[in-house]
Amino acid sequence: MDLSTWVMVVVLAWTVLGLVLVASIWSRAPWKAVMAWLGIALVPVGLWLAGLSQQAIDGWNTLALWWQNLTFTIPVIIGLSVLGLAAVLLLGSRLVPTRKRTRKPKPTTGPSTGPSSVPPASSPPSYRQPPASGTQAEQTLILPENRTGT
């Protein structure tokens, strides 16, 4: 088999593995996580169908050559440390559980003198008024519920 056939087999196997993972977490994981893993599972087949698989392989090989020829100087070590910190922060942010935001109740110790003492309005305010003249051009600039009979 030639290289393109091997690439096709690897891409399809990787995608099927990702879809099996998505199917296994479908009922237990939150909707957001399922959609993220589904997107990740579809990346290899999308790259292959778009004809970008060879460029992805070349990118990986370029990264490997860079790593092999890397000279560890102070700026390089600092740069790799910053990249490592960025990766830890990105991955760590996914592990932190989210909690719903709730407002703290306001203390009701005395008589209320703030905006809550104002009675509610009987109807919502109308911010848009119909135009004085009833031309069709002016009628298209306002909301349909404010149009006068034409």
Amino acid (1-letter code) at residue 47: L
* Residue 42 near residue 18 (C-beta atoms within 8 A): yes
For residue 112, the model assigns a pLDDT of 54
pLDDT of residue 77: 93
Overall number of domains in the chain = 1
In a domain, 55, yes or no: yes
Assigned token pair, 111: 């008589």
Residue 54, pLDDT above cutoff 70: yes
Q: Is 147 exposed, middle or buried (0-12, 13-18, 19+ CB in 10 A)?
A: middle
Domain for residue 99, yes or no?
Answer: no
Q: How many residues does the chain have?
A: 150
128 assigned to some structural domain: no
Give the model's pLDDT for residue 73: 94
Find the mean pLDDT for residues 99-127.
68
- The pLDDT tens digits of the residues spanning 62-85 come to 999 999 999 999 999 999 999 999
Which range among 40-44, 105-109, 139-143 has the greatest average pLDDT? 40-44
Range of the domain at 46: 3-74
For residues 103 and 6, which has the higher predicted lDDT (pLDDT)?
A: 6
Mean predicted confidence (pLDDT) in 48-64:
86
